[in-house]
Structure 1
Amino acid sequence: MGETAHHHHGPPPPQQAAPPPQPPPPNFALSRGPTWPPAEQLQHLHYCIHSNPFWPEAVLLAFEHYIVMLGTTLLIASTLVPRMGGDSGDKARVIQSLLFMSGINTLLQTFLGTRLPTVMGASFAFYLPVLSIINDNTDKNFSNEHDRFVYNMRTIQGSLIVSSFVNIILGFSKAWGNFTRLFSPVTIVPVVCVVGLGLFLRGFPLLANCVELGLPMLILLVLSQQSTGTFYAASRLAGATPPPAHVLSRSIGLHGIGMLLEGIFGSVVGTTASVENVGLLGLTGIGSRRVIQISTAFMIFFSIFGKFGAFFASIPLPIFGAIYCIVLGIVAAVGISFTQFVNNNSTRNHYVLGVSLFLGISVSEYFVLNTNGNGDGPVRTGGGWFNNIFNTIFSSAPTMAMIVGTILDNTLDARHTRNERGIPWWVPFQHRKGDIRNEEFYSYPLRIHQLIPTRFL
């Protein structure tokens, strides 16, 4: 019994050693540092588009905008009026006309156009066409230089009046708004960037040489493209969403009406959205619409009372050049910020952005460097009008970037890369009621929309 109850057990199996403790998995989030989600609106502004600073601060900021836009006005008048045969008195009157029409057009745009805080200032876009008109009249005989100036001025006025209908038709037919629906954040990046970078000849060379002239940039159709890029930058720096297509259409239409008035009142060039003043929005962090509207009072006042304006007109041009070095760089940086809405790891987007930026700057620079003092560029055929149009188009960095970017972005596998291009984010802002904020930022005040047919809004 005892033997049957006895059970023989072998030696216990050896105990396995416990695995060594594993280090905790690395925290990749900490190693990357903090991240920021895309922001449809800038959040760290002191005042956005529909918030207003106190009146003393608003008046001071408005005066700053007047000083910034004054530099371009002085440079254009000082360059063109002597070529037209005018004297110092003629130049003073031209400056007064430019300031007055800048104030009127700025009021039109801030009340009825885009309603963005953008100053409409004298534009180098018209330099090449005006220079062509002056050269065509060089061989004509005049009794004195004043008669030559009057003849050139009347010719320029007639050209502005006739050509204004191009923008009026583009705007109120909604053709320009339909064209902007082809844009995406990928296209906007190079356009806004070169709006700032393409004007570098108005920055550092002006700072160094005082009398250096910036490049002749855009003709009338091309002018719409530069203004469009400036409006996108202004919306960003004012804390607003991108302007919808119908807003861009009505702004271009009003731009044409403003150009018609400029021809009537005797401006030597038309106006466009001032890139320098948009950069000042970013520099001050104040995107208030009211500030820009107050600045028009300075423009109109100093245009009527020339003695006061002459004091500020004596500011040395290198000071304006130093300002441009800063504000134009801010505008270029705003263009880069639109990349947050696209796939930055897509080689397809890299290709579109890189080629658009490179060709936009390099092609325009080639045409600028090969344009002589008479306005003759690389395109030289028997038709002077043909030469002027194509030399002006290819001399424009924003236009080249917009053409190349739009073509590439809408042809290179566009249908299958909608998410990479940022289209789902972009589309709601292109329609009137696509986003509730569209009406908040861009609707008319005081029920003006009830007095204007919807097709013109």
Structure 2
Amino acid sequence: MEGLLVNRATTGRFYIFQCFSRFLSPLSAVPLVALSGFGLYEFGFPVLAKCIEIGLPQIILLLIFSQYIPHMIHGERHVFDRFAVIFSVVIVWIYAHLLTVGGAYKNTGPKTQLSCRTDRAGIIGAAPWIRVPYPFQWGAPSFDAGEAFAMMAASFVALVESTGVFIAVSRYASATPLPPSILSRGIGWQGVGILFSGIFGTGNGSSVSVENAGLLALTRVGSRRVVQISAGFMIFFSILGKFGAVFASIPSPIIAALYCLFFAYVGSAGLGFLQFCNLNSFRTKFILGFSVFMGLSIPQYFNEYTAVNGYGPVHTGARWFNDMINVPFSSEAFVAGLLAMILDVTLHRKDSTTRKDRGMHWWDRFRSFRTDTRSEEFYRLPFNLNKFFPSV
């Protein structure tokens, strides 16, 4: 039921967020986009190191296939960089399975077996062959006003983080900068996704996939057709449980090795916006430094406090109120993006050089959808970007 309520709140902010996004500039986008990727560092090497004999070969092979071999082999067909993930995962997955069946983890601890084994928890054997999800499979929806407000706060955090990833995707797809109208449309469809999440009882809402944004940068394929085919495969594997369980049996260190590149790509997209800002301005330096530092420091405090005490710094009798405060301030991208935008729109606004320092002279032509003819090409037609950008 919370998902149904969150959808109403999210889609209700459809046009409100369009107005909010007009205050974004390349300067305030830097911390937001950068920490949308770099802020997920705990899912990278710390998880990879839980089974270093699997995770390390994975990241090394991924680097070789995606960065080195394409520059050694010059050809018209881009094979290794397009399929670097598939090649590296298959090789290391087979290697991990050989270690599992060979008894390498027979006498190890439970944590090591959970991270390294490909047959952990009998996930393949327990999965059904066919399982069709249906609405309200967990029973009739229930209503709780407090929990609904807590879920709305969580959806707002996902909305802000998704905005950073949207901007990163547009950069890596060689598209024009996102007009506020297009950005709000994506947020609106995210609300529709949360609606279906609530109906089918997924346990979590819909948000932009940061790893898919990094995958776009790695493969340099910005085709909507690819996304549509991938969505078809996801539906297929969600219904045929055995096939989905096979992919779910991939050890988590292999996935963490992929995240090391994917999240790094998304974070570097944020750093790319620095080229449009005046880095000699002390105003620019203060906003960037303060927002990034606080974006890392405040969530670290909230997470450490919660790990030690079992509850967040805001601890009242109303759990929903606690979640409304603790959840947003535990997100690096949310804190950094919010601080950067507030400082950017309030600090020295009357200074004549401020607008150029914050990079707005570059985004001005894209504030309206129809001020650039390329907008029609990128946001209306289902095409492959390689036709327009051979280097992509």
| TM-score where L is the length of structure 2 | 0.69
**Cα distance change of structure 1 residues 374 and 240 upon mapping to structure 2, 3 Å threshold:** farther
**Cα distance change of structure 1 residues 384 and 223 upon mapping to structure 2, 3 Å threshold:** same
Deviations 1:229-278 (A, max 9, x none): 00000000111012111111121111111111111122111121111111
**Cα distance change of structure 1 residues 323 and 374 upon mapping to structure 2, 3 Å threshold:** farther
C-alpha displacement of 1:419: 1.1
Tell me if structure 1 keeps the 8 A contact 2:31–2:336. yes
**1:13-412 equivalent positions in 2, closer than 5 A:** 158-171=1-14, 174-209=15-50, 219-372=154-307, 376-412=311-347
Partner of 1:105: none
SS of 2:207 mapped into structure 1: strand
Partner of 2:380: 443
Tell me if structure 1 keeps the 8 A contact 2:225–2:382. no
Q: Kindly provide the amino acid, as one letter, of the partner of residue 50 in structure 2.
A: N
Which one of 355, 362, 368 corresponds to residue 425 of structure 1? 362
- Mapped partners of 1:394, 1:444: distance in 2: 38
Q: Kindly provide the amino acid, as one letter, of the partner of residue 299 in structure 1.
A: M
Partner of 1:134: none
Tell me if structure 1 keeps the 8 A contact 2:37–2:210. yes
Larger Rg: 1
Higher alpha-carbon deviation: 391-400 or 199-208: 199-208
C-alpha displacement of 1:365: 1.4
Q: Kindly provide the amino acid, as one letter, of the partner of residue 418 in structure 1.
A: R
**Cα distance change of structure 1 residues 251 and 220 upon mapping to structure 2, 3 Å threshold:** same
**Cα distance change of structure 1 residues 387 and 408 upon mapping to structure 2, 3 Å threshold:** same
C-alpha displacement of 1:414: 2.3
SS of 2:202 mapped into structure 1: coil
Point out the structure with the larger helix share: 2
Tell me if structure 2 keeps the 8 A contact 1:194–1:397. yes
Q: Kindly provide the amino acid, as one letter, of the partner of residue 168 in structure 1.
A: T
Runs of 4+ in 1 over 4 A off after TM superposition: 210-213
SS of 1:380 mapped into structure 2: coil
- Mapped partners of 2:294, 2:367: distance in 1: 27
Q: What runs of 5+ residues in structure 1 fail to find an aligned partner?
A: 1-157, 447-457
Higher alpha-carbon deviation: 225-234 or 159-168: 159-168
Between the aligned residues of both structures, percent identity stands at 47
Aligned-residue CA RMSD (Å): 2.2
SS of 1:182 mapped into structure 2: coil
- Mapped partners of 2:310, 2:180: distance in 1: 35
**Cα distance change of structure 1 residues 373 and 241 upon mapping to structure 2, 3 Å threshold:** farther
C-alpha displacement of 1:392: 0.3
C-alpha displacement of 1:434: 2.5
Q: Kindly provide the amino acid, as one letter, of the partner of residue 357 in structure 2.
A: E
SS of 2:317 mapped into structure 1: coil
SS of 1:219 mapped into structure 2: helix
C-alpha displacement of 1:302: 0.5
Q: Kindly provide the amino acid, as one letter, of the partner of residue 438 in structure 1.
A: S
SS of 2:13 mapped into structure 1: helix
Tell me if structure 1 keeps the 8 A contact 2:165–2:213. yes
